[in-house]
Amino acid sequence: MEGYTISSSTDAPKKFNFITSKSFEGVDFHSETGLCFVVSNVQNRHTLVSIDMDIPQIVGRIRTKSNPFRNKIVHIFNTKATDHYTTFEDMKLIVDEEVKAAQERADMLNNTKLSETAVKQQVNEIKKVGVESYLSYQENKFIVNDMVAKLQLYSYYIATVVYQSDKSLRETYAQSGIVTTKGKWHIAPEKFVKELIAKPTFRELHKRYCEIKANPMTFDLQAIEIEHEYPILGRACRILGVKELKPLRTIKSIKEALGEA
pLDDT per residue over 108-140, tens digit each? 998 988 888 998 998 898 888 887 888 988 888
Residues 178 and 71 in one domain: yes
Q: Which residues contact 168 (CB under 8 A, 6 or more apart)?
A: 161, 162
Does 250 map to a domain? Answer: yes
Does 95 map to a domain? Answer: yes
- Please compute, for residue 140, the number of CA atoms within 13 A of its CA located in the half-sphere on the CB side: 4
Residues 230 and 176 in one domain: no
Residues 214 and 179 in one domain: no
Answer yes or no: are the C-beta atoms of 71 and 59 closer than 8 Å.
Answer: yes
pLDDT tens digits, residue range 29-68?
888 888 999 999 988 888 888 898 888 888 888 888 888 9
Does 22 map to a domain? Answer: yes
Residues 148 and 173 in one domain: no
Residues 73 and 175 in one domain: yes
Does 210 map to a domain? Answer: yes
**Pairwise CA distance, residues 108 & 100, whole Å:** 12
Structural domains of the chain, count? 3
Residues 1 and 62 in one domain: yes
Answer yes or no: are the C-beta atoms of 28 and 58 closer than 8 Å.
Answer: no
Does 241 map to a domain? Answer: yes
pTM score:
0.58
Residue numbers of the domain that contains 236: 199-258
Does 191 map to a domain? Answer: no
Residue 236: what pLDDT?
Answer: 92
**Pairwise CA distance, residues 147 & 102, whole Å:** 13
Closest by CA to 253, choosing from 261, 26, 230, is 261
- CA 152 to chain CA centroid, Å, is 21
pLDDT tens digits, residue range 155-211?
888 888 888 888 889 999 999 888 888 877 788 888 888 877 788 889 999 998 998
Answer yes or no: are the C-beta atoms of 42 and 77 closer than 8 Å.
Answer: yes
Beta strand residue intervals within the chain, DSSP E: 36-40, 73-77, 135-138, 141-144
Residues 135 and 180 in one domain: no
Residue 246: what pLDDT?
Answer: 92
pLDDT at 82 over 60: no
